[in-house]
Amino acid sequence: MKGNINFFVYVVNTDVPDENIFSGEVGIGYTSIAAGICDAPYGTMYIAPTSIIPVKNPSEFMIRKAVLQYFGVQDHMDY
């Protein structure tokens, strides 16, 4: 990937049944948005630099865990 690419984890905190979106769901991916925490429709987006994971092709689970830990956020999968 070229440019300033970061990982993101999108955590849904609002139910939107008409769109099949439910609180607690999580999305993971890459973005060119700068690192930080953003309010987003239906939830919160946590964006962290790709340098937090020193492997070339991290799994979705690895990205999720690393990004949430980077911001000190408890993952509901850890309960």
In the structure, what pLDDT confidence band is assigned to residue 4 with cuts at 50, 70 and 90? confident
The answer to the question of residue 32 being in a domain is: yes
The answer to the question of residue 14 being in a domain is: yes
What values do phi and psi take at 74, rounded to 5? Answer: -75, 125
DSSP string covering 55-79, please? SSS--HHHHHHHHHHHTTPPPGGG-
Structural domain tally of the chain? 1
The answer to the question of residue 19 being in a domain is: yes
The answer to the question of residue 54 being in a domain is: no
- Pairing type for strands 26-31 and 36-40 reads unpaired
Residues 21-72: tens digit of each pLDDT: 999 999 999 999 999 999 999 999 999 999 999 998 999 999 999 999 999 9
The answer to the question of residue 40 being in a domain is: yes
Domain range spanning residue 11? 1-49
CA–CA separation, 41 and 2 (whole Å): 27
- pLDDT at residue 1 above 80? no
